[in-house]
Amino acid sequence: MGVAIIVVLLVVGTVLFHIFSPWWFTPISSNWGMIDTTVDITVWVTGFVFVAVNLFMALAIWRYRHKSGSRALYEPENRKLETWLTVVTTIGIVGMLAPGLVVWAKYINVPEDAMEVEVVGQQWQWGYRFPGKDGEFGETALRFTSSTNPFGIDPSDANGRDDILVDSNTLHLPQDRPVKIWLRSKDVLHNFAVPQFRAKMDLVPGMVTHFWITPTRAGRFDVLCQELCGIGHFVMRGSTVVEPEADFNDWLAGQATFAEQHKRSVDVDAGKQSYTVCASCHGQNGQGNRQMNAPKLAGLNSDYIERQLRYYKKGIRGAAEGDTYGQQMAAMVNTLADDQAIRNVTAYIATLPDQPVAHTIEGDVADGKSIYRNCSACHGRQGQGIWSTKAPALAGMNDWYLATQLQNFRSGVRGSHPDDEYGQQMRAMTAYLDGEDGVRDVIAYINTLDAPDR
């Protein structure tokens, strides 16, 4: 009797939880209302079966409970009952799955007038490519991939020259226009998902998959990697900005093509000129100066330096309340007039000799080593920095500066700005650090890594 009541209570509780749960779909913002319908059908069919089977079980437990003297009837075959159950189950399953096939066919059959964009997944970021004026994507292959060609475009393919490359986690899309989304992975399985679009698909290394959507509502929506196994997929957070077509076109016009990115030249002498200001804090050889709280720059990855300088300029870094040192730096970046000046000074810094630094922090190296296993997925085993993950070198850098930065990420002084895509990843990663001891220990371990050849 008790068990029957518990089963009934479980059924009632589950149904109530479903109805009153705060976790419902986010408001939809694409044409794929059909996907919600198929989910609803599945919930109705499985929900009905769940309630019916469990209530029947409760009834059977109560009705046929043990009574002394009564005997069970043994009936191994019942054609009528079996036929009836088979027919009903078949109808239920067909009703549940057939609509999904219809929707799937629509989901991958792209309308003729759709524009195209390619989503490129890699550990642990997204990038996006548009076909450019000619409407054709250039061929790609992994062997072409390098820090100056992160999308791996075949340099000899004319179609690739005008491809527009967005090396950022943020994708803009025009509202009310069908878009064909191509999906390509550079390394492992990823899964591109935008919950508001009700659209997602795996990116499979070695093949190119696709689906299409029409975004119907303007706004900024999260892009998630829903490939959940693996150390860093959960930090592959990006955004899609859906906006009126005119705004989208403005944004697209501001993105560089493959050819433009390769035409960029640098003037190291001009960079040397600009660097005289920087030298007063960072040192003549970019060796860092603790009195000024200015870190070593020599040996830092150039693309990282460029990005940080742009961040300071746009207020993405160094503008937060409480970021005293960052604010000092942000004031100085105004001596660099534009993007060209940023590239020049970075090119000059790349010529500075990388010298060893004094160690100032001690801690439990063994504990630091076990923490660092997670960090190495992006910063490299030797802390040398990896261009493709956008994570800078840590080995051979000022340990006091690494400590401030880890504290800044932890407290949100750094990495909280909505446009600080990579700082946000680092913020999430500081969860591996168990308080200030963890910061000390991991830095003590980083101090043991050889300054790599760069």
Taking the mean position of all CA atoms in its chain, how far away is CA 128?
Answer: 13
Q: How far apart are CA 166 and CA 164, in angstroms?
A: 7
Q: Does 328 bind ligand HEC (CB under 6 A)?
A: yes
- We find the least distance from the C-beta atom of residue 234 to ligand HEC, in angstroms, to be 9
Structure tokens at 40: 């609803």
Structure tokens at 49: 């079966």
- We find the least distance from the C-beta atom of residue 225 to Cu ion, in angstroms, to be 3
Stretch that binds ligand HEC, among 12-20, 94-102, 103-111, 377-385 (CB under 6 A): 377-385
Angstrom CA distances, 311 to 233, 245, 292, 316, 441, stand at 24, 27, 21, 5, 29
* C-beta of 212 vs 348, nearer to ligand HEC: 348
Q: How far apart are CA 342 and CA 333, in angstroms?
A: 9
Provide the mask over 396-435, with x wherever binding to ligand HEC is found by CB under 6 A and - wherever it is not: ------x-xxx---------------xx-xx--x--xx--
Q: How far apart are CA 335 and CA 345, in angstroms?
A: 11
| Residue 232 interaction partner, one of Cu ion, ligand HEC, none, beta carbon < 5-8 Å per kind | ligand HEC
Count, residues near ligand HEC per rule CB under 6 A: 50
Site for ligand HEC in 173-202 (CB under 6 A): none
* C-beta of 159 vs 407, nearer to ligand HEC: 407
Provide the mask over 286-325, with x wherever binding to Cu ion is found by CB under 5 A and - wherever it is not: ----------------------------------------
The tokens 């479980």 sit on which residue? 10
Q: Does 190 bind Cu ion (CB under 5 A)?
A: yes
Q: How many helices (H) and strands (E) does the chain have?
A: 14, 10
Site for ligand HEC in 123-152 (CB under 6 A): 124
**Beta strands across the sheet bearing 125-130:** 164-166, 125-130, 115-122, 179-185, 209-213
Q: Does 336 bind ligand HEC (CB under 6 A)?
A: yes
- We find the least distance from the C-beta atom of residue 116 to ligand HEC, in angstroms, to be 29
Would you tell me the crossing angle of helices 365-379 and 435-448 to the nearest 10 degrees? Answer: 80
Site for Cu ion in 206-265 (CB under 5 A): 225, 227, 233, 236
Q: How far apart are CA 429 and CA 265, in angstroms?
A: 35
Choose, by CB under 6 A, the member of 325, 367, 382, 411 that binds ligand HEC: 325
Stretch that binds ligand HEC, among 7-15, 56-64, 188-196, 294-302 (CB under 6 A): 294-302
Q: Which of 345, 314, 312 is nearest to 329 (CA)?
A: 312
Helices (H), 116-211: 158-161
Positions that interact with Cu ion (CB under 5 A):
190, 225, 227, 233, 236
